[in-house]
Structure 1
Amino acid sequence: MIRNYLKIGWRNLTKNRSYAFINIFGLSLGIACSIVIFTIVKYHLGFDNFHENKDRIYRVVTEWHDDEPGTSEAVPSPVGRAFRSEFTFAEKTARVISYNDALVVMDAGSDRKKFKEESGIAYAEPEFFDIMHFPLLKGNQQNFLSTPNSAAITEKLAKKYFGTEDPMGKTIRINNKTDFIVKGILKDLPNNTDFREEIYLSYQNLIDQSKWLAADSNWGGVYSGSHCFILLKQNATPAQANQALAQLVKKNYTGRDANVWHFRLQELSDIHFNPDFNGSANKKYLWAFTLIGLFLIITACVNFINLATAQALNRSKEVGIRKVLGSMPKQLFWQFIAETALITFFALLLAIVIAVVSMPFVNQLFKSNMSLQLLQNPPLWIFLLVTGVVVTFLSGSYPGLVLARFQPVMALKSRLSQKHIGGFSLRRILVVTQFAISQMLIIGTIVIASQMHFSKNTDMGFTKEAIISLPIPITDKVKMNTLRTRLSGVAGVEKISLCFQPPASGSNNSTGIRYENRAEDEHWSINVKNADADYLSTFGLKLVAGRNFFPSDSAREILVNETFVKKLNIKSPQEVIGKRISINGGSTVAPIAGVVKDFHNYSFHSEISALCILPDNSNYRTCAIKVNMKNLQPAMAAMEKIWNETYPDYLYSYEFLDERIARFYEGDTMTLKLIEAFAIIAIIIGSLGLYGLVSFMAVRKTKEIGVRKVLGADLKDILWLFGKEFTRLLLLAFVIAAPIAWWAMSQYLQEYKNRISLHPGIFLLAIAATFLIAAFTVGYRSVKAAAANPVTSLRTE
């Protein structure tokens, strides 16, 4: 019986090829999108799931409960030591201090190899590898980072540095400062981990990188790369550890600080998704993509139901004959389900092909290495099986019931009409659903694109164009000044500043601050930027009160921003000039020389924070160079030559500041491109269905059109005959889509502290776009119908 059903189904598909093509192609697009989304969601939900004790692994994070609450994934470096020595909740505790970028140098006789590792380096305590499951291919798991000057590198880097030689015992030099002996080879990191460092160094050598962090005594400052990980004992709970951390605050902080500073545990599974702690993904977006994938499948199913119920009239005689010959309604129903299953099967095959072809583009967009792994991915096959069954019954049930209830006498006499298939009202609902989904996606695309344009082009309060950020070694202050002096003489170089980081940066230092003449408990956190006296002129920062500090190698004077003044509840910036402030636990005390106009020191996702700018040449890591773009190429060549002469042991690398800031919005750009793709696919699916539906209407109305033309109807009358119904449905869809899209986009924009407004023009543009697409689709087929010779259509009457 099933074989017969499939045979009949195949015969009907080959007989109605355009109908089959529209359904198969439409379903395959919807299913292909759902496969890609399933792969993306599965990839992100699997981040760091491979660790053996993942349910007991936590990271200690910082929260500031102040007038302006703040969070950080980092903690003061003494937290890990105190937690290990004072509490018994942890089976293992490990501190990891990471730094972006690293220069790796190897001496091989006369051949000196230099590599820049953008994944950075991490100074890690040995217990880190007892907490995390990063398998060691070579070396002793118990002690490979327990001695000074020991290092572990990944298998990939071992091949890169040493080729076929055994890397164990070989020496690598980090940042031209410290030699490390390779004592461990780690298995290459999986793609779905947030721990991207491929070089781990003994924590005992941290003093070579930062004396401040290595001192292990500063509770008042947080460096964004300073992390502490905990493996809780099996009988311990996070609540117990959080209570212990609260006691740690009371012991090490006084006055208002004891109420402001909070430490708590963050689950390993939350690290990848929590935007408050610099998570690289957002679960809300994953669920939104899942919903979009569902919408696209529904849109494709709507096409099928619409076309199948419309096509039912053309199959009325076939159904009538089958019923006269004894076919039962349930047999007709299952025959149509079999046809639908056949269409779904071909759609699934085509969807897999489309998904496989699409994955390289998806990986390029996400900078990942996701794969469908068709032969080794049982969850995907289960997903495809469930999708196939659901689509088959969702798409085939209603048309099957419509066919099964035809009266044989009326079917054989061709007296069936729209009312007998009971589908006209349903088809209206389904078309409205398609239009609504398309309009919601179009509105989402417009809003996200508008916010991206706003973020990338709105003034951040400083100059970001034509500025080169050149990382510099901090080992030799004499060479640092030599570089600045020589670069200043290059034609095309307009301004130069030595600093820790540009005004807006993902890497920032924070510390506690105490303002003169305030009570002891008036103590809060502030962002610190170390820079020389040319910082303001290089980046175009404006003073609103006071003056710039005088050139100096250390903090004799300090600049603050307007937000700093506002946090003090002082009305005039002039009032703070000359007042002394204390930072870094009292190790730095200096007067305020000037107040800088507010600028954005993070992306537009964050509010402008209180900050201070002070000179400290021991912490300069960047040479910022403002150039004349007209003389860029000769200037760049001269700069590289000067660099190589000044720092022959270091690699020359640079980046333009505007490109660096654009990376703040990489995640949003990915979201935009995905939404754009899904919106286009939804429009294609909807347009295919609309074209098929109008084609069916044109065939059913052939004689009506002929009569109208004989009676004097012109082209616009025929177009209106087809278009008026869809215009009403489009407007109804907009009424449904607009409030849903407004709510969803309002939630999206809440993630930006500086954002666009949802004005009516966005929604009008969306409905106009939908109307034009629908008008083109309906109009194209309607014109063909209107151009037909009425004599031909009326000849049989």
Structure 2
Amino acid sequence: MNRFALLTLYRSLTRHKLYAALNIGGLAVGIAVFLVLSLYARFETSYEKWLPRYDRIYLVQSVWNMPGSAFNGAIPWTMGGLLDQMREDFPGTVGTRVRGGEDAGSVVRSGAAVSEDVAQVDPTFFDLFDLPMAQGDGRAALTSPANAIISESAAKKYFGSSDPIGQTMTVAMDSANSYRVAGVFRDLPKNSEFKLSILIPLAKTPPTDNWYHWGSSQLQTFLRFETPEAARAFERKTGTFVDRRATQDMGKDASKTLSLGLLPIERWHLEPTGTQSAGQKLTVVTLGIVGLLTLLIAIVNYVNLATARAGLRAREVAMRKVLGADRGALVRQFLGEAVLTVALAALIGLMLAELSLPLVNAAGGLSLTIPYLVVVPLLMLLVLVVGVAAGFYPALLLSRYPAAAVLASARSPGGGRAGTRTREALVVFQFGLAIAFIVGTIVLFAQTRHVRQSDLGFKRDGLLVVRSLAESLVSAPQKRAMVQALSALPGVQTVSVADSAVGGSGNDSSDNVKLPGVAGNGPSLRWIVVGPRFFSVYGSRLIAGRVFDDVHRADDSDGVAKDQPRAIVINRRAVPALGFRSPEEAIGKTVGVDRPRTIIGVVDDMRFDSPRQANTATYYVYTRKPEELGSSVATLRFTGDPRAMVASVRGVWQRMVPQVPFVGGTADQRLAQFYEADERATRLFAIGAGLAVLIGCVGLWGLASFNTARRVKEVGIRKTLGASSTDIVKLLVGQFLRPVLIANVVAWPLAFVAMRTWLAGFDDRIALSPLFFVGASVAATLIAVLTVIGQSLRASRAAPAWALRHD
């Protein structure tokens, strides 16, 4: 392009300032949304890729095949001694183990404990995870059981500006021991599943009794393979390995119940494991698609306005032809103008993305930044593609107009009926996606509101969970004293201890319950050990029979011989699972042939975990000494201000057990962790959807402005023949709304399939009501009416004489 072409572009943009603002602004907003959501998707898919040779590291998964059980599927945990047995059976196996992580230990200073992300690791840790070191040699440090390596943040926290190397610190995990700091590693990035601030050597002596018990979940095992083929070959051999090693604990053909899988570490974050469902991966994919579709809407909007306004330059093209310009020169000029315009929009979009990142990070709890070395080349490619796409049709259309016919015409060509139909089709496409976005936003907000307010089977208000009671450093006498002290606090109504609590705290255990006269091992049920007042604390609803009490001494499972029936309470879902037609029919029945259990009561289902996780059949076992449980968690029922109660409980804890950090919170705080990711995704989706609708409105307004300006003489003739202003408004608005109404045909099936897929990830979910779709369509229609009503009113109020003179 020469300077005259650039001058022409400048004059075209400044002459039609509103058109330029709408066209460039709409595309800039679309590019900004695309950049932000792409950065989010890029961040979520970049986990562990910061590690050197991450593509050779695999997480060993325990894959349970127990249909109907809460523990069916893959979990990222294995028994402690798995790697030892693998090395015996497969010499040359390269692997390491990580036990602990986020808030798994503490640092004791001046008799008080501070919670830290402590992990016990093998000396081979750096063979797989070559963490960048700030000081010292991490590989050499882990060879001594008296050494520890810490993160830069931990070094600054505990040693300030002094050199941490060689200094000692007391780290508690299972037991409190003194360690010498032998290295400092760089803080791990946020795109990592590892939460590590202190690494200490894993003791050669098994730290737990069931270290070699198949079926236990104690730590994470990682293996390294040089090629994917080697990993797949090893995985194929694990079936016979499990059958050979797990027979004693799991019986013959153990691999049919428990198998081992190898998960590439870069897929760990988004792969459904344990209590994590496929919802996280689906959320990332959904938001990535939203970004792409928003960009596509912006591109369509830009092309639509560009082709609509191109006809206004027909006389300019004709004059250029008269003055000697050939068709090739005109095509190059229009394509160049389109590319430059898109480049300006891309620059503005990049600025908008940079300005909006702090707000998006705050709304989504993220830490996104723009990697310009990656983004700028992609934007340059986008500018070329969109510029050519937007400029190609107008360039060909205008360059082929005969100069004489254009100069002799009383009006500029507008592309005829074919051009009108093309523009309407593009509006249908835009608003079809916009309506689908509105439906999606409504459904997402309705679902997130539902899970926060749904009936969980217990009274969530006034509940406080003390997770730190389960720490191994707290002795049974200390637990009993703590429960008594908590019960005496003002505002505390009652306290109970169990090995499970709201928020996913405590143990996750299940077993098969054999049914009398029925072949097979029976259904798999989750089981929870509870202490006195458990059902009273939670306010669970009794459906039939009774709950445990101290009047019936046979309720206590600790005093029952192994071959004698134990009293159990089951939940509603366990009734059909155990073959009973009603809760009343289950009362007094004994199940479990090898380990008899007599049902004394049926309570309503209680959901302690994520709404995405299936709420399964459960039975409860009673003990009068819950403080002796290895994973005893205390739950308090209280009245008054939750913050004041948490502060009071923390004060009691720090006074009685200062060597263990207090970990606790209200039921609402514990449950909030399950809703956080979906609520963040909902906010990001709503932002993208709102801007997509805005871009669609901008395009519709620009098109309405263009079409209204071209129909001024038609309006004058209609008014001369007796049409009222109301008739004119109805005509224009009706024609503008026609593509919007047709867009529902595109939007409804698309939104239905997308939202049904997303809701399928929730066990507790809303129904896809037709009201969601009708409401979205009404909202889109109102938005469209408000968008074009101004143009229609202005055209209808024009005097017929003025309209007939000005076209």
Q: TM-score, normalised by structure 2?
A: 0.89
Which of 131-140 and 631-640 deviates more?
Answer: 631-640
Please give the alpha-carbon distance, in whole angstroms, between the structure 1 residues aligned to 2:579 and 2:253.
17
Q: Deviations over 1:751-786 (max 9, x none)?
A: 123322222211111110110000000112222332
Q: In structure 2, what is the equivalent of residue 30 of structure 1?
A: 30
Mapped contact 2:465–2:665 kept (Cα < 8 A): yes
* Structure 2 counterpart of 1:496: 495
**How much does 1:746 deviate?**
1.7
Q: What is the identity, as a one-letter code, of the residue corresponding to 1:80? A: L
Moved more, 402-411 or 42-51: 42-51
Q: CA distance change for structure 1 residues 791 and 519 in 2, over 3 Å: closer, same or farther?
A: closer
Q: Deviations over 1:90-121 (max 9, x none)?
A: 2x2222222542563343xxx6665333xx33
Amino acid at match of 2:635: A
Change in 2 beyond 3 A, CA 1:167/1:205? farther
Per the alignment, residue 75 of structure 1 pairs with: 78
State the shift of 1:134 in Å.
Answer: 1.5
Q: Check 1:40–1:457 CA distance in 2 against 1; reply closer, same or farther (3 A cut).
A: same
Q: Equivalent residue of 2:501, what SS?
A: coil
Distance in 2 of aligned mates of 1:373 and 1:419: 42
Q: What secondary structure, in the 3-state scheme, does the structure 2 residue paired with 1:242 have?
A: helix
Letter in 1 for 2:321: K
1:88 aligned partner, one-letter code:
P
CA 1:521–1:723: 2 relative to 1, 3 Å: same
Which of 762, 771, 782 is the matching residue for 2:781?
771
Instruction: After TM superposition, give the deviation of residue 406 of structure 1 in Å.
Output: 1.7
Distance 1:235 1:685 in 2: 45
Equivalent of 1:322 in 320, 323, 327: 320
Do 2:26 and 2:695's aligned partners in 1 also have CA atoms closer than 8 Å? yes
Secondary structure of 2:694's match? Answer: helix
- 1:702 and 2:705 correspond: no
Deviates more, 1:183-192 or 1:673-682: 183-192
AA at the equivalent of 1:53: R
- Structure 1's unaligned 5+ residue stretches are none
Letter in 1 for 2:460: K
Deviations 1:286-341 (A, max 9, x none): 34333322322222222222222222332222111111111112222221112212
Amino acid at match of 1:76: M
How far apart, CA to CA, are the structure 2 residues paired with 1:41 and 1:635?
A: 40
For the 8 Å contact 2:101–2:194, the answer to whether it is kept is no
How far apart are residue 599 of structure 1 and its match?
2.3
* C-alpha contact 1:89 1:232 (8 A) present in aligned 2: no
Aligned partner of 1:645 among 655, 662, 668: 655
8 A contact 1:469–1:622 mirrored in 2: yes
2:408 to 413, 417, 430: 413
Q: Does 1:249 align with 2:242?
A: yes
5+ residue gaps, structure 2:
551-555, 561-565
Give the conservation status (yes or no) of the 8 Å contact 1:531–1:620. Answer: no
1:427 CA displacement:
0.4
Instruction: Name the CA shift for 1:201/1:445 in 2 (closer, same or farther; >3 Å).
Output: same
For 2:803, the equivalent position in structure 1 comes to: 793
Find the counterpart in structure 1 of residue 96 from structure 2: 94
Residues in 1 aligned to 2:229 and 2:405: alpha-carbon distance in whole angstroms: 75
Post-superposition CA distance 1:572-627 (Å, at most 9, x none): 666585748699xx9xx976654443222432212222334344423345332222
1:403, distance to aligned residue in structure 2 (A): 1.5
Counterpart in the other structure of 2:530: 531
Q: CA deviation at 1:355?
A: 0.7
Secondary structure of the structure 2 residue equivalent to 1:204 = coil
Contact 1:176 1:649 (8 Å CA) reproduced:
no
Q: 1:61 to 1:707 in 2, by over 3 A?
A: same
1:237 alignment partner in structure 2: 230
**Separation of aligned partners in 1, 2:82 and 2:742:** 59
1:508/1:775 Cα in 2 relative to 1: closer, same or farther (>3 Å)?
A: farther
**Cα distance in 2 between the residues matched to 1:726 and 1:246:** 65
Deviations 1:54-82 (A, max 9, x none): 23211111222233343322223332222
Equivalent-residue separation in structure 2 for 1:786 and 1:681 (angstroms): 30
Check whether the contact 1:255–1:521 (CA below 8 A) recurs between aligned residues. no
d(CA) in 2 for partners of 1:795 and 1:514?
90
- Give the equivalent residue in structure 2 for 1:431: 427
Q: 8 Å contact 1:255–1:520 — kept in the other structure?
A: no
Matches within 5 A, 1:378-397: 379-397=374-392
- Does the 8 A contact of 1:89 with 1:241 survive in 2? no
The answer to which of 736-745 and 283-292 deviates more is: 283-292
Q: Determine the C-alpha separation between the residues in 2 that align with 1:205 and 1:533.
A: 39
Q: 1:128 to 1:555 in 2, by over 3 A?
A: farther
1:137 aligned residue (128, 134, 137): 134
Give the 3-state SS of the residue equivalent to 1:237 in structure 2. helix
TM-aligned CA deviation for residue 733 of structure 1: 0.9
Match of 1:262 in 2: 259
1:6 Cα deviation (Å)?
Answer: 2.2
Aligned ranges for residues 43-58 of structure 1 at < 5 Å? 43-58=43-58
Choose 480-489 or 329-338, whichever is displaced more. 480-489
**For 1:638 and 1:271, how far apart are their aligned partners in 2?**
39
C-alpha contact (below 8 Å) 2:47/2:191 kept by paired residues: yes
Pair 135,691 (structure 1): closer, same or farther in 2 beyond 3 Å = same
Render the CA deviation track for 1:37-58: whole Å, top value 9, x for unaligned: 2222222232212333323211
Specify the SS of the correspondent of 1:497: strand
Q: Match for residue 553 of structure 2? A: none
1:402 touches 1:421 (CA, 8 Å); kept in 2? Answer: no
The answer on 1:292 being equivalent to 2:290 is yes
Task: Choose 419-428 or 445-454, whichever is displaced more.
Answer: 419-428
SS of aligned partner of 1:372: coil
Q: Secondary structure at the match of 1:275?
A: coil
AA partner of residue 26 (structure 2): G
SS of equivalent to 2:123: coil
Q: Indicate the larger mover: 310-319 or 550-559.
A: 550-559
CA 1:524/1:62 → structure 2, altered by over 3 Å: closer, same or farther? farther
Residue aligned with 2:381, SS: helix
Distance 1:431 1:506 in 2: 52
Matched, 1:466 2:489: no
Q: Deviations over 1:472-510 (max 9, x none)?
A: 343133232223223323332223222344245176423
Listed one character per residue, the Cα deviations across residues 375-424 of structure 1 (whole Å, up to 9, x for unaligned) are: xx2x2222111111111111111122222122211221234443459411
The question of whether the paired residues in 2 share the 8 Å contact of 1:559 and 1:596 is answered with yes
Question: Given residue 346 of structure 2, which amino acid in structure 1 is its aligned partner?
Answer: L
For residues 581 and 146 of structure 1, the distance between their equivalents in structure 2, rounded to whole angstroms, comes to 49
Higher alpha-carbon deviation: 250-259 or 155-164: 250-259
Query: Which position in structure 1 is the counterpart of 2:203?
Result: 204
2:106 matches 1:104? yes
CA–CA separation in structure 2 for the residues paired with 1:186 and 1:520: 56
Q: Which residue identity does 2:78 align to in structure 1?
A: V
DSSP 3-state at the match of 2:237 = helix
Larger deviation: 326-335 or 414-423? Answer: 414-423
* Mapped contact 1:601–1:609 kept (Cα < 8 A): no
Q: TM-score, normalised by structure 1?
A: 0.90
Residue 178 to residue 591, structure 1, CA distance change in 2 (3 Å): farther
Question: 1:429-473: CA deviations, max 9, x gaps?
Answer: 111111111011111112222222222222122222221223334
Alignment of 1:52-201 (within 5 A): 52-68=52-68, 69-88=72-91, 90=93, 92-98=94-100, 100-102=102-104, 104-107=106-109, 114-117=113-116, 120-168=117-165, 169-174=167-172, 177-181=175-179, 182-201=181-200
1:637 to 1:153, Cα distance in 2 relative to 1, 3 A = closer
Residue 398 of structure 1 aligns to which amino acid in structure 2? Y
CA RMSD of aligned residues (A): 3.1
Question: Which of the numbers 758, 778, 782 marks the counterpart of 1:748?
Answer: 758
Q: Distance in 2 between matches of 1:461 and 1:748?
A: 24
Deviations 1:695-725 (A, max 9, x none): 1222222233233334443332121121112
- Is contact 1:221-1:511 (8 Å) kept? no
Q: Please give the alpha-carbon distance, in whole angstroms, between the structure 1 residues aligned to 2:251 and 2:609.
A: 29
Asked whether the equivalents of residues 600 and 607 of structure 1 are also in contact (C-alpha less than 8 Å), the reply is no
